[in-house]
């Protein structure tokens, strides 16, 4: 579990997950096995109104990683989209413009708002896209995403910086505001045993500016978040809400055995 220490000024000094949880990421293989064994049963998960859903991959990953989740959502009646931009490596003005253009195309094609699901770094992108085009985005779900201004919560930060280099002034300003939630209903799903992004780095700050935000803890690895059956259930439950009638996740009954709210 990631620790949080204080510097001499009393400021928070975030740390990435411990090496123990990083080494335990291999359990994602068992989560995928559970996904496969329950794949047919997932067709009975809550169904929504079939609106379009865009799924963004994590850092270094591609649409291949999100194919299982998109397959479930397609079975539930949603019009699903991968991002179609290859591996998620670079984040620059051109890549941001490509993602925004994709949101615009999906919105124009269906004439209705889309939901965006983002895994890890993809969740950061999902939130930023919703900030840029809130009139076209219905709902955002992030999975184990580093969504605070403290970038040291992630074990992947060094590799990201090597590939992307130091951010320009405008990008650095954007990164400093990652903790600001988009002005649409937003759910952050995270795990305390995440071996890549420390769970505290995935917490949205509760505030009055956007009361339609929530943090839900689920038992999962970082690499298993997109295929963990419990997380897939959460995603289906959240997407099934009617537009304009958002409610926080109901933790009553057996759900409280598997999920925690923060």
Separation of alpha carbons 161 and 167, rounded Å: 8
Separation of alpha carbons 216 and 202, rounded Å: 10
Separation of alpha carbons 79 and 83, rounded Å: 13
- The pLDDT tens digits of the residues spanning 48-58 come to 999 999 999 99
Angle ∠(98,120,146) on CA atoms, nearest 5: 105
Q: Which residues pair with 141 in a beta bridge?
A: 117, 187
- Mean pLDDT, to the nearest integer, of 132-142? 98
CATH topology of domain 13-241: Rossmann fold (3.40.50)
Helix (H) or strand (E) holding 214: strand 213-217
Question: What sign results for the dihedral spanned by CA atoms 232, 184, 109, 112?
Answer: positive
Residue 163 pLDDT class (50, 70, 90 cuts) = very high
Residue 4 pLDDT class (50, 70, 90 cuts) = low
Question: What sign results for the dihedral spanned by CA atoms 195, 206, 51, 97?
Answer: negative
Residue 125 pLDDT class (50, 70, 90 cuts) = very high
Q: Is 126 exposed, middle or buried (0-12, 13-18, 19+ CB in 10 A)?
A: buried
- The pLDDT tens digits of the residues spanning 183-241 come to 999 999 999 999 999 999 999 987 656 789 999 999 999 999 999 999 999 999 999 99
- The pLDDT tens digits of the residues spanning 94-123 come to 999 999 999 999 999 999 999 999 999 999
Q: Kindly state the tokens that stand for 163.
A: 């590939």
In percent, how much of the chain has pLDDT > 90? 82
Mean pLDDT across the chain: 92
Residue 9 pLDDT class (50, 70, 90 cuts) = very low
- The pLDDT tens digits of the residues spanning 166-186 come to 877 777 888 888 899 999 999
* Boundaries of every domain in the chain: 13-241
Residues of the chain by 3-state class (helix, strand, coil), percent to 5? 40, 15, 45
135 Cβ contact partners less than 8 Å away, ≥ 6 residues apart = 113
Separation of alpha carbons 103 and 121, rounded Å: 17
pLDDT greater than 70 at residue 8: no
Residue 22 pLDDT class (50, 70, 90 cuts) = very high
Angle ∠(133,138,140) on CA atoms, nearest 5: 85
Backbone angles phi, psi at 137, to 5 degrees: -115, 130
Contact 2, 18 (CB under 8 A): yes
What's the pLDDT score for residue 173?
85
DSSP 3-state assignment of 52? strand
């Amino acid at each position: 579990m990631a620790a949080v220490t204080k510097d001499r000024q009393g400021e928070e000094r975030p740390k990435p997950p411990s090496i123990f949880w990083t080494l335990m990421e291999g359990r994602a293989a068992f989560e995928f096995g559970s996904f496969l064994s329950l794949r047919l049963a997932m067709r009975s998960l809550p169904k929504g109104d079939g609106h379009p859903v865009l799924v963004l991959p994590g850092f270094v990953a591609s649409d291949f990683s999100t194919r299982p989740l998109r397959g479930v959502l397609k079975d539930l009646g949603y019009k699903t989209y991968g991002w179609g931009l290859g591996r998620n490596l670079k984040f620059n003005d051109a890549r941001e413009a490509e993602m925004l253009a994709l949101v615009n195309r999906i919105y124009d094609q269906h004439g209705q708002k889309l939901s965006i699901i983002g895994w890890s770094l993809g969740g950061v992108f999902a939130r930023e896209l919703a900030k840029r085009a809130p009139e076209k985005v219905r709902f955002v779900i992030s999975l184990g995403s580093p969504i605070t201004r403290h970038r040291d919560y992630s074990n992947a930060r060094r590799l990201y910086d090597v590939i992307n280099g130091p951010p320009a002034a405008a990008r650095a300003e954007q990164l400093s505001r990652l903790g600001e939630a988009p002005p649409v209903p937003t759910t952050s799903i995270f795990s305390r045993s995440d071996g890549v992004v420390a769970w505290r780095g995935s917490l949205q700050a509760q505030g009055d500016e956007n009361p339609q935000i929530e943090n839900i803890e689920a038992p999962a690895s970082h690499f298993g978040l997109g295929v963990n059956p419990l997380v897939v259930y959460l995603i289906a439950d959240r997407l099934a809400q009617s537009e304009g009638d958002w409610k926080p996740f109901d933790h009553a009954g057996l759900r409280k055995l598997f999920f925690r709210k923060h």
